[in-house]
Amino acid sequence: MRLHTKNAVALLALGCMSATQAQDRVLEEIIVTAQKRAENSQTIPIAITAIGAEQIEKLSITTTEDLVRLAPSLTFSAGDNKNNSGFRIRGIGTNAFSIGVEQSVAVIIDDTATVLQGQSIADLADIERIEVLRGPQSTLFGKSASAGAINVVTKGTAEELEGSLEVLATDDDETSVKASISGPISDSLGFRVSAYKKDYDGNVDNLSIGSKVNGYDNTGFRAKLSWQVTENIDATLIAHTMESDSDCCALTWTELDPNALVFGFVPGEVAPGITPSDENYTFRSDSGPVEKTENDGGSLKINIGLGEHTLTSITAQNTFKYRNDGDVDFSDVDVFGFFTGGAITGGFFSNSFNENDFFSQELRLLSPSGERFEYVVGLYYADAETDRSFLRNPGLPILQSDWTGVAATETLALYGNFTWELTGATSLSAGLRWNDEEISFEFNNNLTGAIPPGSNSDTEVLGNVSLQHLLGEDLMVYARFAQGYKGQAYDLTTTFNQDKADNPVGPETSDTFAIGMKSTLLDGRMRLNAEAFFGSYEGFQAQSTSLLPNGSLVTSLNNVGDLETKGLEIDGQLLVGDNLTFSFSAAYVDAEIQEFLGADCFPGQTMAEGCFVNAAGSSVQDIRGGVLPNSPETKFNVGAEYVQPFDSLPFDGFVLFNYVWQDEVNFNLLQNPGTVHDSYGLANLSFGISEKSNQHYRITAFVNNLTDENYRSSVADLRQLYGGLTSFAQVHSRNSERHFGLRVKVAF
């Protein structure tokens, strides 16, 4: 870590010494809409990373998962399927099996919130800007968020006819095509249409069937129609659809006792021909993983000018369907044959299908900008309903499950955010949100019978306040207090019972204090921002999994108790000379559990390691002082872009380099020492040419994971399925291996 830091500091110091070479070159303003109005990001007291369209393209940011390369304290936890994966900010995130659980990190696409974790994992096409807001966001965005928000803004309609076509091919067999066209239909009507198709074979070999998995076949389409109805009224209609067929995400063995048997007694070698290791990209499976995703929806946004004020209405409807089939024993052992005497053959399997229907309506009134007193007030309503059916091992006496359930959440909120310019240099902002939420469920266990439907409600008042002061024309300091909220939930899983129906998982709330600065230095050639924060969480919602002696697999969503997350984030940019730009960000995050007495013991945990039997006869531990899953203490990113003008040619050349490093993490809430991942760093390089006058073409060659650094997106302890013998499995993302690609874009 010291070596990496010294290199980064030396690089920046060199840049500072060279910066005097360019007296007339300055950084462009970054305009964001984090507070529901277009503002310079340097003027608002919120920690925010804004990523523009050109940066997304040049750095090969193709999915939301790639954002972790640029935003400090943002990480992504990958599970064995989309709905078991999710984002974390400052150590706080959501990974839950239950269908009624909100996300700690809200993902908003064109003013519409996503509901399920799987919806937040999306391809990025025709994007104008992405804003990563760090810290609680419960006042201005539709769905409240206890940890932060990712705000995605797609490109709007163009005033003149324009279009683009982009093709990509890589050495690991990915191909993609993206296209867009936009322009006016009449003086008052404009349109934009974009589409993409992506194919990728995968990076893991299933030796049982002789083919690769972890690949995908994705298609997407988005259309926008803008209408200037009158001088004071405009409307934007958006429709989108996306389909994905994939076979993600296979678990491969990192450690496996050669004597391991399924459940400790089913005969058959678990992994013949496989050498378990951190770099193992092979596995055996007689079924799955299989995923199919459909996401369809649309929205209507209307702006009405009321004098100098603007009244905005946003109506949105979305349907998300997700099916995933998996191999429960993670092998091709003939488990069914053992239990049925050969009458039925094959392995344990599960089938799951989710369908989420979401409707939201938001009304907000925005005061004119540039006044000493500014405000935005609004009303928000949302209705989300998720159906799920789950089937596992029908007809067998072990790990059997067969249920259907419905989780619904109805939200009504009133909010307001107000800013007073107390003096020419000092401003005070305050926000308030009244949030009323009702949750309900229906559940039918086809093995044991239905549970009567139930409902519960919760009302919360949340707020934030910040004070900012200009110490000079280009230096602003601020202090901020913000509250976060994540609603209560019914833990609809195989073990859902009347007790869980009567006692839903409580809400997750947070209080965060922050002090920060935003500065523009060296006559506009350097931008340096920093924020120190301290956040306390009550009722943190976390999931644990255990296998009972009777063969039942138990996944439980719990309110962990109290935890704290504190640290420091720094980010900035530096222009050097006429052609070189440095970017940098760093985060130190100490995310620690303050109270969780009664947590399950991790598999194989001994009394010496803190496992004890409580009064109820259960084996538990106290993980007070433990770390949160996938929360590196230190993470930093450095990048450089060099543009080489060619005076005699119609194009310029460019080179971009990005390096991100993170500290070790533990992927397991229960502090399992076997699921710790060492620190690692990833380097990415791209270079190419770009037409200089109107950007009519760009050719980019890139190398992701330049040094072929092996890393894992998650590590799971499966000893409970293999008789207690060592059995650790991992998920390898596509970027865990070096791959090359070429992207060609033409535009008019």
Which residues are CB-neighbours of 312 under 8 A, at least 6 positions away?
Answer: 301, 302, 303, 304, 362, 363, 364, 365, 366
Decide if pLDDT at 7 tops 50: no
Query: Domains of the chain by range and CATH?
Result: 2-294+309-595+627-747 (2.40.170.20)
Per mean pLDDT, which range of 3-7, 259-263, 296-300 is the poorest? 3-7
First to last CA, the chain: 46
Q: Average of pLDDT values for 242-250?
A: 91
DSSP 336: H
Per mean pLDDT, which range of 288-292, 318-322, 696-700 is the poorest? 288-292
- What token pair was written down for 703? 């190398």
- What token pair was written down for 153? 């803004």
Q: What's the pLDDT score for residue 546?
A: 58
**Whole-angstrom Cα distance, residue 586 to residue 309?**
39
Decide if pLDDT at 1 tops 50: no
Q: How confident is the model at residue 14 (pLDDT cuts 50, 70, 90)?
A: very low
Handedness of CA 689, 692, 695, 696 (dihedral sign): negative
Q: What is the mean pLDDT of the chain?
A: 90
392-451 confidence digits (pLDDT tens)? 988 777 888 999 999 999 999 999 999 999 999 999 999 999 999 999 999 999 998 999
Q: How confident is the model at residue 554 (pLDDT cuts 50, 70, 90)?
A: low
Decide if pLDDT at 9 tops 70: no
Decide if pLDDT at 10 tops 90: no
Burial 473-511 (b: 16+ CB within 10 A, else e): ebebbbebebbbbbbbbbbbbbbbeeebbeebbbbbbbe
**Higher-scoring residue by pLDDT: 553, 658:** 658
Q: How confident is the model at residue 5 (pLDDT cuts 50, 70, 90)?
A: very low
Tokens 């005699």, located at residue? 648
Q: What's the pLDDT score for residue 85?
A: 80
- What token pair was written down for 462? 């949340």
Q: Which long-range contacts (CB under 8 A, 24 or more apart) does 465-468 make?
A: 465/428, 465/429, 465/430, 465/431, 466/45, 466/428, 466/429, 466/430, 467/45, 467/426, 467/427, 467/428, 467/429, 468/45, 468/426, 468/427, 468/429
Q: What's the pLDDT score for residue 188?
A: 96
Decide if pLDDT at 354 tops 80: yes
Is 0.95 surpassed by the pTM of this model? no
Q: What's the pLDDT score for residue 547?
A: 52
